Amino acid sequence: MTNWMAALAAHCKRARQQHPGDRLLVVFDADGALIDRRRSFGAALRPYSGALETVRWLETGLDCAVGLVSARPESARAEVLAALNALGVARRVVFEDARLRLRPDGGAGDESAARAAGVRAFQAAGWRVVAVLDSAPEALAAVAAQDEAGEMLLLHAALDGAARAGALPPRALSGGAYRLADLIAERDLPPDVGLVWHGLNDEPNVRQFLASDIVWGECDVHLDPRSDRLVLHHDRLDDAPTEDVAALLTLDDLLARMRERGKAVKLDLKGGGPLIGRALALIERHGFDDDHLWLNGYLRFLGEAGVRQLAEARPGAILQAPVDFMGALAVSLPDHTQAILATLRGWGMNRFSLDFMSAERPQFYDLMLRWGFEVNLYGVVDLETFLAAVLLHPRSVTTDFNFPQWHYYGRGSGQGGRYYEYEQRAP
């Protein structure tokens, strides 16, 4: 199969250049290119993996609206729209009533003809349809027959692996999965989403980061009572042998190297009390201004006193805490959760961090945006997950930069002694 996502991105960009003032539309077969019919029962719809993220990027990154066609009856409109928009909440996707074309009640003809009629209806409403994604070859053939100018990109969504009757039009491309890495290039990332390289706790990872164009780098800071040094390590130091701790990188050394390279530093403080003052003193010694400083810590370590100490010492820095523990509370008691977050903001906290993979994250994230809180997403494990997180347009994303496809070879933080490893090939 061809790289259909890359072809879609390139086609949409060309169409926008050629028709800068037109309303561009990409049409999806709702029941075969968007909804996974193998996992949907009644009103419980399930999207194909990556389908809604693709819709989100088309609309926010490629300036192409998305329309849906379906052979479902017009009488089901309210039910279908409600189900689709319930799915869209987690991906910040909204399907508008005017961009859904259903079969007229009592209408005759097969499903493919009904979907092709939906494409014609969009054109009649003033849309320039630039691409059509459909699971049925015969539907694409019907669309091709009415596209005399040959301007539409025809994409066969062979997503469930089942054979479809009918021959594809000669110019149609076929694809078996939505891959965001094929759709979105590094140069296309939104510039207002901050990116943070996670886990600068060992020399190989530090070197990778310093050689990159990524500005923000995060390290995990402990106060080692045995050596009275601030050292970099993800996990607890209590059970580590003395010789292992002695070999750890120090915050003093990392700050000097980052300052020399013009980087910005994010400190994940793995404790409170004396660690806070010691870290602030090192930051001051190395000349980091507030615009290049980000302080993160668990509330159980920092407490109110620690948060206020950091905020008073560095009022212009980013001050953040993870709040995943409030996810279930946010879903069941949103007003109480909002009040707690407002209290934390009153202490000086100005950003909150959520694990992208946590169960409550979709609803909690949506609430936090509505409440006006800045959010950092973390816990993204690979390039596909990273792109899905960026598409939600948080204030920032923290990741290991384990993206060999983009020539980033982040090792990770070393949590539990685990690091990413990469195959080395001769030129």
More confident residue, 406 or 148: 406
Phi/psi at 317 (5° precision): -80, 165
Instruction: Of 6-10, 43-47, 259-263, give the lowest mean pLDDT range.
Output: 43-47
Residue whose pair of structure tokens reads 């479902």 in the numeric block? 72
Residues of the chain with pLDDT > 90: what percent? 85
Mean pLDDT in the chain?
Answer: 93
User: Rounded to 5 degrees, what are φ and ψ at 250?
Assistant: -105, 155
Q: Is 417 left (phi over 0), alpha (psi -120 to 50) or beta?
A: left
For the CA atoms of the chain, what is the radius of gyration? Answer: 25
Which pair of structure tokens corresponds to residue 284?
Answer: 């001051």
> Which of 36-45, 221-230, 390-399, 409-418 has the weakest average pLDDT?
36-45
pTM for this entry: 0.93
Q: What is the pLDDT of residue 166?
A: 67
Alpha-carbon distance of 268 to 199, in angstroms, equals 10
pLDDT per residue over 169-224, tens digit each?
Answer: 989 999 999 999 999 999 999 999 999 999 999 999 999 999 999 999 999 999 99
Phi, psi of 303, rounded to the nearest 5 degrees: 65, 175
391 close to 56: Cβ distance less than 8 angstroms? yes
Q: For the domain 4-183, what is the CATH code?
A: 3.40.50.1000
| Domain range summary for the chain, segments of one domain joined by + | 4-183, 188-417
pLDDT at 162: 58
**What is the pLDDT at residue 164?**
61
Beta bridge mates, 231: 222, 250
For 289-348, the pLDDT digits (tens) are 999 999 999 999 999 999 999 999 999 999 999 999 999 999 999 999 999 999 999 999
Q: What contacts 24, CB < 8 A, 6 or more positions away? A: 12, 15, 16, 63, 64, 65, 127, 128, 130
The whole-number average pLDDT for the span 97-104 is 94
Distance in angstroms (rounded) separating the CA atoms of residues 262 and 177: 40
Strand order of the β-sheet with 153-157 is 100-103, 65-73, 24-29, 128-134, 153-157, 173-175
Q: How is domain 188-417 classified at the CATH fold level? A: TIM Barrel (3.20.20)
pLDDT at 276 over 60: yes
**Best CA proximity match to 341, nearest among 322, 356, 359:** 322
Q: What is the pLDDT of residue 289?
A: 98
Region 229-245: what's the mean pLDDT? Answer: 85
Distance CA 26, CA 272 (A): 52
Does residue 241 have a pLDDT over 90? no
Contact of 159 with 31, CB cutoff 8 Å: no
In this predicted structure, the answer to whether residue 426 has a pLDDT above a threshold of 70 is: no
pLDDT (average), residues 56-75: 96
What b/e string do you get for 242-258 counting C-beta neighbours within 10 Å, with b at 16 or more?
eeebeebbbbeebbebb
Q: Which two tokens stand for residue 159?
A: 């997503």
Give dist(CA 70, CA 90) in Å, integer.
Answer: 23
Rounded to an integer, the average pLDDT of 388-399 is 98
Single-letter amino acid, residue 422: Y
Angle at the Cα of 367 (from 345 to 269), degrees rounded to 5?
40
Cα separation, 211 vs 228, in Å, equals 30
| Predicted local confidence at residue 249, as pLDDT | 96
Mapping DSSP onto H, E and C, the string for the chain reads: CCCHHHHHHHHHHHHHHHCCCCCEEEEEEHHHHHECHHHCECCECCECCCHHHHHHHHHHCCCCEEEEEEEEEHHHHHHHHHHHHHHHHHHCCCCCHHHEEEECCCCCCCHHHHHHHHHHHHHHCCCEEEEEEECCHHHHHHHHHHCCCCCCEEEEECCCCCCCCCCCCCCCEEECCCCHHHHCCHHHCCCCCEEEECCCCCHHHHHHHHCCCCCEEEEEEEEECCCCEEEECCCCCCCCCHHHHHCCCEHHHHHHHHHHCCCEEEEEECCCCHHHHHHHHHHHHCCCCHHHEEEEECHHHHHHHHHHHHHHHCCCCEEEEECHHHHHHHHHCHHHHHHHHHHHHHHCCCEEEEECCCCCHHHHHHHHHHHCCCEEEEEECCHHHHHHHHHCCCCEEEECCCCHHHCCCCCCCCHHHCCCCCCCCCC
pLDDT band at 257 (very low <50, low <70, confident <90, very high): very high
pLDDT of residue 165 exceeding 60? no
At residue 230, the pLDDT reads: 97
Q: Read off the pLDDT of each residue in 228-241 and give the average, rounded to a whole number.
A: 88
Q: Is the pLDDT of residue 130 over 80?
A: yes
